[in-house]
Amino acid sequence: MTVRALFRAATVEGHPAPYNTIHLKVFYPAQLSGGEQETNLGLVPAAVEKAPFSVVILFNGINCGPELYQWLAVALAEQGLAAVTFAWVAENLPGMIALTPGVDLKMLMPDQYGQGPTASALPALLNELENLNAQGVLAGLLDLDHVILGGHSAGGRVAIESASPEFFPQVCAAFAYGAHTAAVTQLGYSAGKILPLPDHLPLLLMGGTRDGVIAPEASDAIADNAP
């Protein structure tokens, strides 16, 4: 299977410039044609016989570049899906400028949690996918009624917390690696509290003995609860 990618940019509403721009890379099943656009511009047609393509959006961990997940995006496109990675430099936490998956802190507060998505990048990403489905190489080929959210670390957290048809009716499933929903005590939660997840859609949680997330953060939680 040939895989190619398109690049796009999108604006995140409600965030100040210059930290309001997301850069997307959209991987898709392609079919080499030898046509003029392909030769001169690198615009490779999609493998239309495999369309429509369900879409997987991959949310990176904090300060984890999207290139770390390219292997997965390519593997998904080889299976006939479209896969999206993105880069967003923003104020992830107050005073902290970083590569971020987009964490909506107000939706993590005790009086707001569970009432809306925590993935602040998702509306802009979905809107740009609509644009791609309207014109260009992928026009009419994306199945935007079947969008899967996935991610790693903080990106995995916002993916699984935002996977509810009540928030986004086009989302059909979610997965995460090295992620958890332990509550942040600085936001007013009691130590050791685990927050619930939406339960309307298929959900896959993955971890590992060396995932770099669960063990260190579990150690922090134990320290917080020490007498």
- pLDDT for 39 equals 62
- Does domain 2-224 fall under CATH 3.40.190? My reply is no
Query: What tens digit of pLDDT does each residue of 20-75 get?
Result: 999 999 999 999 877 766 665 668 889 999 999 999 999 999 999 999 999 999 99
Taking CA atoms, 117 is separated from 31, 43, 103, 121, in Å, by 36, 35, 9, 10
Q: Which residue has the tokens 């995460």?
A: 176
Mean pLDDT in residue range 172-196: 93
The band of 219, judged by pLDDT with boundaries at 50, 70 and 90, is low
- pLDDT for 227 equals 40
State CA 88 to chain mean position distance.
Answer: 11
Mean pLDDT in residue range 79-98: 92
Q: Where are the domains of the chain?
A: 2-224
Is the predicted pLDDT of residue 165 greater than 90, yes or no?
yes
Is the predicted pLDDT of residue 224 greater than 50, yes or no?
no
DSSP 168: -
Task: Please tell me the pTM assigned to this model.
Answer: 0.91
Output the six-digit token pair for 73. 């995006």
Mean pLDDT in residue range 104-108: 93
- pLDDT for 183 equals 92
Mean pLDDT in residue range 77-81: 97
- Compute the mean pLDDT over every residue in the chain, rounded to the nearest whole number: 91
What residues are paired with 142 via a beta bridge?
53
- pLDDT for 43 equals 81
Is the predicted pLDDT of residue 225 greater than 70, yes or no?
no
Output the six-digit token pair for 157. 């957290």
Distance CA 192, CA 111 (A): 18
- pLDDT for 215 equals 67
Output the six-digit token pair for 117. 């998505």
Lowest mean pLDDT among 136-140, 156-160, 214-218: 214-218
Query: What tens digit of pLDDT does each residue of 112-149 get?
Result: 999 999 999 999 999 999 999 999 999 999 999 999 99
Task: Indicate the burial class of 39 (C-beta count within 10 angstroms; 0-12, 13-18, 19 or more).
Answer: exposed
State CA 72 to chain mean position distance.
Answer: 13
